[in-house]
Homo-oligomer: A and B are copies of this chain.
Amino acid sequence: MNSFGRNFRVTTWGESHGVGIGAVIDGCPAGLPLSAEDIQVELDLRKPGQSDLTTPRKESDTVEILSGVFQGTTTGTPISLLIRNRDVRSSDYETLKEIYRPGHADFTFQQKYGIRDHRGSGRASGRETACRVAAGAVAKKLLARQGMVVLAFVRQIGTVSLDPEILDTLAPAARSLSLDEAASLRQTIFNSTVRCPHEETARAMIETVRGVAEQDDSVGGIIEVRAYGLPAGLGEPVFGKLDACLAGSLLSIGAVKGIEFGEGFRLAALKGSQANDPFKEEEGRVVPAANRAGGVLGGISSGAPLNFRVVIKPTASIKKPQDTVNMRGEKTVLSVEGRHDPCIAVRVVSVIEHMTNLVLVDLFFSQILSTLNKNKTF
């Protein structure tokens, strides 16, 4: 279905070349100051055309709040958000009407529904993720009240990877950042054309992207998330584990093909004595040392920074000619013209950040209901 979350529930709708796309947020508490501008600033960080490394499509992505806000404050009723589609050059897609583009959902939608809106991938378009950013912007405001902040950035493009030790000086895995430090780091990230907070690495990444673009090709990447200020206790045992909810939500982003927490796939080769985080006492609080677990133990946040990585596949749409077939099974050669990002990972950073916001706020609300006799104010 097209809804996400249990307490802070988001329903998205819309196709890339229809009238528009939108989201309905159900479960936002009354009393939160909210304006279209709060959402617009986040959408602007996702929108195409911000540099020569992204598609020059002009998606202005202007959001309207249609309901749920009265005199600048949420009322507790559903918040309906609308983003009209403007730069819809559907004719670009007319030639693709009968062709199954490699790496795209054309074929599987056709098989599933017996019909598909072929214009710009329809519902399967990455454009849908703008709705998640819009809803995530509201979640972000709620999290900020609790001192939580999520940072997402590009960790790897092609074979260029941000060195783990440098990274740890910028966004530590085992100790917290203050909200100010986090805000400043986020600024650095979004000032970077490739959303990488380390300038030298960013330069090498840019070179890689320019290189594949010149070959009419595209390239993959890895996005890392480090989130600070989470209390211990977020996540539900069994099916609603924090890592399970994150994995389920992040793999629902089209280009994401894998996720790993903390040490991730390296754990296969480690011993228990190397992988376990011993606990230690720090300023009167118990905390896990090292944080190889990525801030989650038994599916519940440990109070250490949340840390995970997702892999982003290379943009499927490339100008380089590819063999494929059409709807009648006839061989054809496809060169996708249009206007596409040579490395979609760059634009997905903002989506990853906001999907994480959505998961955290939803589990935070669950956590409020998990015990009696505890201070529940929020």
Contacts and interface: CB of A to CB of B under 8 A. Distances in A.
B77 A281 contact: no
A206 interface: no
A175 B232 CA distance: 44
Interface string A211-254: 01001011111100000000111011111110111111111101
B31 A111 contact: no
Interface in A18-40: 18-22, 24, 26-27, 29-32
A298 B378 contact: no
A103 B297 CA distance: 7
A371 B298 contact: no
> How extensive is the interface on chain A, given as a class?
35 or more
A193 to B, nearest CB: 18
A258 B143 CA distance: 25
A15 B67 contact: yes
A124 interface: yes
A369 B102 CA distance: 27
Given A29-B369, A374-B114, A258 B265 contact: yes
A235 B108 CA distance: 10
Nearest to A32: B372
Contacts of A241: 251-252
Given A29-B369, A265-B222, A273 B105 contact: no
B222 A311 contact: no
A247 B113 CA distance: 24
A57 to B, nearest CB: 18
B31 A324 contact: no
Interface in A78-125: 78-80, 82, 100, 102-105, 107-109, 111-117, 121-124
B107 A240 contact: no
A323 interface: yes
Give the interface centre of A7, A222, A313, A316 by most chain B CB atoms within 10 Å: A313
Q: Which 10 residue pairs are nearest across A and B when measured between Cβ atoms?
A: A105-B298, A248-B248, A258-B260, A218-B272, A108-B300, A111-B232, A30-B113, A244-B252, A102-B276, A103-B276
28 contacts: A2-B26, A7-B369, A13-B66, A13-B79, A13-B80, A15-B75, A19-B67, A21-B67, A22-B66, A30-B115, A31-B374, A32-B372, A76-B112, A107-B232, A108-B233, A108-B298, A108-B300, A111-B231, A111-B303, A124-B299, A239-B248, A244-B249, A244-B252, A245-B248, A254-B299, A257-B267, A276-B314, A368-B369
